[in-house]
Amino acid sequence: MTNPAGPDHRLVFVTGPSGAGRTTAIRVLEDLGYEGIDNIPLSLVPRLVDGAPLGRPIVLGLDPRNRDFNPTALIELIDSLTRDPRVELEVLYLDCAPAILIQRFSETRRRHPLAPNETPAQGIEREFDLLAPVRVRADHLIDTTDLNQHELKAEIARLFDISPGGHLSVSVQSFSYKRGIPRGVDMIFDCRFLANPHWQGALRPLDGRDPQVAAFVRSDSRFDAFITKLSELLLFLLPAHLEEGKSHLAIGFGCTGGQHRSVAVAEMVGNMLAEAGWPVSKRHRELERQAGTVQPQAAKASE
């Protein structure tokens, strides 16, 4: 049953490979007014939810150094809290290229927590494998490979600022219906009625970010009316959600394989919203799964 007064607890889980910036992210969120708890055992999180509301959001740092950490337990905890009407949960995953992580460990001369007697590269490889299922479940992914601390702080503030008169950040995602609907998506639009580039031999190996695929999707006689009405609907709804105090809105676009139509439409809508002044990040779930290293992108008005 939904709590008419809203959730009692707003939680942000911060995770990702060691060296990607998790500690920095927690400190930034604390500066934004969050209560920070790092390396809390997973078994204690339900007790935190059962306690009295703090009156401000909580950020929890979770990584493989937690003594009872395992990906299955963390995913089960995420699912449980998502179903709990007392809780508003977001998962932030900080990612980074392995070569940069190796460089960071070399500069600090730290031992990797998963390979204390081996090379950092071995620990990094183990941690990537361990966290792969968690990465897919994240609401927000930030690649810190090319970010300095000031840029990371700005990105986190864009997503999680709780100050009065804040903003609404928008996540636009593509997905495959064969793999199920993504967790935590607020609105879903089905793109399977559009002409499918999969059946075009030259387009099949490409994805919806390619101009040829996007042009093919736009050539469907129903596309112009669809994108016009969809844009009008979203530009009407987003200010309403902002007025209601919502800080993040996730919009999903699905198709059969999650490679062509949904990706193309998500790209177009993300760019349209960015041009209208909304802070937008774009994420393509199935492309991330295929490549393993594809990162979410911030939509740019110039695209």
> 143 and 176: one domain?
no
285: Cα separation from own chain's centroid = 10
> 85 and 197: one domain?
no
One pLDDT digit (tens) per residue for the chain, 303 residues: 344 456 788 999 999 998 899 999 999 899 888 999 988 888 889 988 888 887 889 999 988 776 678 889 899 999 999 899 899 999 999 999 999 998 888 877 777 877 777 888 888 898 999 899 999 889 889 999 888 777 788 788 778 877 655 567 788 999 999 998 887 788 999 999 999 999 999 999 999 999 999 999 999 999 999 999 999 999 999 999 887 777 778 899 999 999 999 999 999 999 999 899 888 888 898 998 876 543 444 454 333
> 187 and 144: one domain?
no
Structure tokens at 82: 């998502």
Computed from CA positions of residues 139, 281, 271, 203, in that sequence, does the dihedral angle turn out positive or negative?
A: negative
> 217 and 249: one domain?
yes
The pTM of the full predicted model, rounded to 2 decimals, is 0.59
251 occurs within a structural domain: yes
> 52 and 120: one domain?
yes
CB atoms < 10 A from the CB of 190, how many?
13
> 20 and 142: one domain?
yes
Among residues 160, 187, 212, which one ends one of the domains?
160
Residue pointed to by tokens 């809290």: 81
Structure tokens at 164: 């009065």
Q: What is the CATH number of the domain that holds 59?
A: 3.40.50.300
Please tell me the total count of domains within the chain.
2
Residue type, 194: L
> 57 and 132: one domain?
yes
4 occurs within a structural domain: no
The residue range of the domain holding 29 is: 9-160
